[in-house]
C-alpha cells in the first residue's frame, strides 16, 4: 500500500488554517490546505511518497495552485516543483528550523509578482542580412568560400564562418534585448534574462514588479508591439509566481525530525 505524504507548493504567512479547494496535483485533485507554525505556513495537499510523476500537466498544476494562493495573499514564496514531505510534523520541524529565513524572504518579496516577456524576430532572413552587412569578417569569409576550389578547405571555411555567425547572432540578441529593456527601467523592481533556446528568440526576460503595476506594464507592451510590429512578436505572461527570483529547494535530509 502506498503511503501518503504532503506535497508542498509554497509558503505564506497566516494565523489561521486555509482551504484553497480541491485543486491539488494528482488524478483526484486533492484538497489544498495549509500546515503552519506560529503564523508561518506551507501550502500542501496529500500525495503518495513514492509515486510522483514529472510531466507538463503536474508542472502546470503546481503553478496554478500557487497562482490561486496569490489571489488571497500578498506574499507568496514558491517551493520548487516536486517537493514532498512525509508527515505534517516534518513540515512543522522545517518551519521551526528555517523560520527566520522564510519570514525574511516573505518580507522581501511582499506585494511582488513576476511577469515574463519573450521577444521573437519575425523574419530571420532580415536578421542574417543585417549581421552580414555589419560584420566585415563574415563578408570576407563568404568571399573566400566562394573562391575556394578545394571542397575540403571550402567546408572548413564554412564551418568557421558558422561559428562566427553564431557569435554575431548572440551579440545581436544581447544588443536588441538591451534596447527593449530600456522601456521597462522605471516600472520594474528587478529583472533576469532566462534561457533562450531558439535562434529567432532574442529575449526571454522575467521582471519583478510591485503588484498593482500590471496595467502600466500592459501599456508598455502595447507601445512596444506597435513600435516593432513589423520586426518582433512579443509573448507576454503576467502575473505569475516569482519562480525566477526565488528557487526554494528543500533537500530530503532537511525534513528529518530532530
Give tens-digit pLDDT for 81-99: 989 998 999 999 999 999 9
| Predicted local distance difference test score (pLDDT) of residue 174 | 93
pLDDT tens digits, 170-185: 899 999 999 999 999 8
| Nearest partner of 168 among 204, 195, 206, 141, judged by Cα | 141
Q: Give all strands (DSSP E) within the chain, no chain letters.
A: 4-13, 19-22, 31-37, 40-48, 77-78, 84-85, 112-121, 190-193, 201-210, 232-240
Q: What is the rounded CA–CA span in Å between residue 29 and residue 27?
A: 6
User: Average pLDDT for residues 186-213, to the nearest whole number?
Assistant: 91
User: Average pLDDT for residues 203-220, to the nearest whole number?
Assistant: 92
Backbone angles phi, psi at 77, to 5 degrees: -105, 110
The model's confidence at residue 249, banded by pLDDT at 50, 70 and 90, is confident
| Cell triple for 36 | 503552519
Q: What is the rounded CA–CA span in Å between residue 92 and residue 256?
A: 11
User: Average pLDDT for residues 110-130, to the nearest whole number?
Assistant: 93
> How many Cα atoms occupy the beta-carbon half-sphere of 116 within 13 Å?
13
pLDDT higher at 78 or 154: 78
Q: Cα dist. 213→112, 116, 140 in Å? A: 10, 14, 49
Q: Give the helix, strand, coil percentages of the chain, each rounded to 5.
A: 45, 25, 30
The answer to whether 258 touches 93, Cβ cutoff 8 Å, is yes
Amino acid at each position: 500500500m502506498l503511503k501518503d505524504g504532503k506535497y508542498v507548493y509554497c509558503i505564506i504567512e497566516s494565523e489561521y488554517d486555509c482551504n484553497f479547494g480541491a485543486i491539488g496535483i494528482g488524478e483526484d485533485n486533492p484538497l489544498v490546505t495549509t500546515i503552519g507554525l506560529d503564523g508561518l505556513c506551507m501550502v500542501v495537499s496529500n500525495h503518495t511518497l513514492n509515486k510522483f510523476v514529472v510531466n507538463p500537466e503536474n508542472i502546470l498544476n503546481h503553478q496554478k495552485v500557487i497562482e490561486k494562493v496569490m489571489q488571497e495573499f500578498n506574499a507568496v514564496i514558491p517551493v520548487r516543483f516536486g517537493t514532498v514531505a512525509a508527515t505534517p510534523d516534518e513540515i512543522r520541524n522545517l518551519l521551526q528550523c528555517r523560520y527566520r529565513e522564510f519570514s525574511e524572504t516573505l518580507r522581501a518579496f511582499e506585494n511582488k509578482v513576476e511577469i515574463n516577456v519573450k521577444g521573437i524576430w519575425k523574419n530571420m532572413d532580415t536578421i542574417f542580412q543585417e549581421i552580414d552587412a555589419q560584420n566585415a569578417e563574415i563578408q570576407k569569409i563568404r568571399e573566400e568560400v566562394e573562391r575556394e576550389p578545394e571542397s575540403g578547405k571550402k567546408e572548413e571555411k564554412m564551418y568557421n564562418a558558422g561559428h562566427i555567425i553564431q557569435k554575431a547572432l548572440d551579440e545581436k540578441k544581447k544588443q536588441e534585448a538591451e534596447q527593449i529593456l530600456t522601456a521597462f527601467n522605471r516600472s520594474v523592481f528587478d529583472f533576469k534574462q532566462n534561457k533562450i533556446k531558439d535562434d529567432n528568440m532574442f529575449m526571454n526576460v522575467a521582471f519583478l514588479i510591485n503588484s498593482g503595476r500590471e496595467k502600466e506594464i500592459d501599456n508598455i507592451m502595447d507601445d512596444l508591439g506597435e513600435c516593432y510590429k513589423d520586426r518582433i512578436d512579443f509573448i507576454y505572461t503576467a502575473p505569475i509566481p516569482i519562480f525566477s527570483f526565488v528557487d526554494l529547494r528543500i533537500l530530503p535530509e532537511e525534513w528529518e525530525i530532530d
